[in-house]
Amino acid sequence: MKQQHVLVLSVSALSVAALVGWLGGIASQPATQPSPGAPVAVLERVVASGSATSAPAPSLGPVWSAMQALGARVEALEEAPPPQDPLEESDPQPQEIDLAQALAEATAQHEDALSRHGATPYDAAWAESTGSRLQEELTELGAERKFTVDKVDCRSTSCVVTLGWSGYGMAMADATEVLHRTTSLPCANRAFLPPPDDADAPYETRIIFDCAE
């Protein structure tokens, strides 16, 4: 599920009975317990250099690598074939437990990335310039795709952008476009869209842009 262009974009669609919400580090956005069968999307864009993708910046690099590894682990768990003989399946729960553990670890890694961003020294010139470009590009795209740019927080090498939609379905439909279209900045970015309790309620998520060289 990867497309190789100037960008590398990975999308995972999972069905889980219970999920620890990613992006749950802020009190106003707690973890939720979705209904069974709810889809979850993990999306990322990695900046390419020549024929190979460049490594993320040192500031968030270790976190980024860990999240990519966990994403691959989640995909492997989801794509694992069912047991050959149902009678030999003594406990159908281990895969769900492993998946929940992987997602919990990914949640911690993403929260760590948000914390690292928040602890980054503030560079007023860079933050204003980069933030303005992100605000302009995403606002223009939002007018087409019907989402709002609720907040742009840039520091010195990274930004966190909060986007809002009228519902979860709209967010799922737009997220790939958001990551693919914000290409004027040499930034790797990542978004996670955990399913809410009410798919028709207004939906908000945060995207990390790592722009360090």
Which backbone phi and psi does 212 adopt, to 5 degrees? -70, 145
pLDDT, position 91: 56
Burial 89-125 (b: 16+ CB within 10 A, else e): eeeeeeeeeebbebbebbbbbbbbbbebbeebeeeee
H/E segment holding residue 203: strand 203-210
pLDDT, position 10: 33
H/E segment holding residue 138: helix 124-145
pLDDT, position 184: 81
CA distance 130 to 53: 22
Contacts within 8 Å (CB) and 24+ apart, 132-136: 133/184, 133/185, 134/159, 134/161, 134/182, 134/185, 134/209
Structure tokens, 212:
């360090």
CA distance 103 to 71: 9
- pLDDT, tens digit, for every residue of 76-88? 666 666 656 555 5
CA distance 169 to 145: 12
CA distance 47 to 54: 6
Q: What single string gives the DSSP state of each residue in 38-101?
A: EEEEEEEEEEEETTEEPPPPTTTHHHHHHHHHHHHHHHHHHHPPPPS-GGG-S-S-HHHHHHHH
Structure tokens, 100:
């929940």
Query: Which residues of the chain register pLDDT less than 70?
Result: 1-97, 213
pLDDT, position 79: 65
